[in-house]
Amino acid sequence: MRYTALAALAGLVLSGCGDESTGTPPPSAQSTPTPTDPTVTESTPVGVGLPMTITRTGGFAGFDDQVQVAADGVATVSSRGKETVRCKLDPTLLTPLVSAAEQVDWASLTMVKPTVRHPDDMIIAVSANGKVARLEDPKLKPLTAPVSKLLTEAKIPPGNLCKPL
């Protein structure tokens, strides 16, 4: 009797797993997008991505940097122990940043503050459209190169690609 009950319980547990290889969602999960819902194939991005805030914290060097980029290309650059600088990003830096930001599906990101994963973890986080994610998040891949260049070139005092206002 005990083995029969155990076998029945195991059958119930395993039947709940289902076969996920078909890729067909249950009928209640299927939905047909309405014409007003944005889709991946539309040319209009889910969010333009500007204004955007990029932060770099932690790491062995103890970074505490922030770059806020407004829609007009004006950046506010701050770093621990240094005076905050406002500057206009050069088009050779702003254009790739805007283009990359338009490729990100901001709606798919969750609002989770990045946390330290290990000692001396350097966190580079990008915030836009009410969402925040680590730069290494696969959904932010288009932003990797432009953000890295921004953190290098728009440093304090303003680098070559950030002209003081």
Q: What is the pLDDT of residues 147-158, one digit of tens each?
A: 998 888 776 666
pTM: 0.65
- Tell me: cis bond preceding 38? Omega within 30 of 0 counts: no
Contact 64, 79 (CB under 8 A): yes
List, for residues 103-114, the tens digit of each pLDDT value.
Answer: 999 888 877 778
Q: What one-letter code names the amino acid at 40?
A: V
Structure letter (DSSP) for residue 164: E
Instruction: Give per-residue pLDDT as tens, 113-162.
Output: 787 888 888 889 999 988 889 999 999 999 999 999 888 877 666 677 77
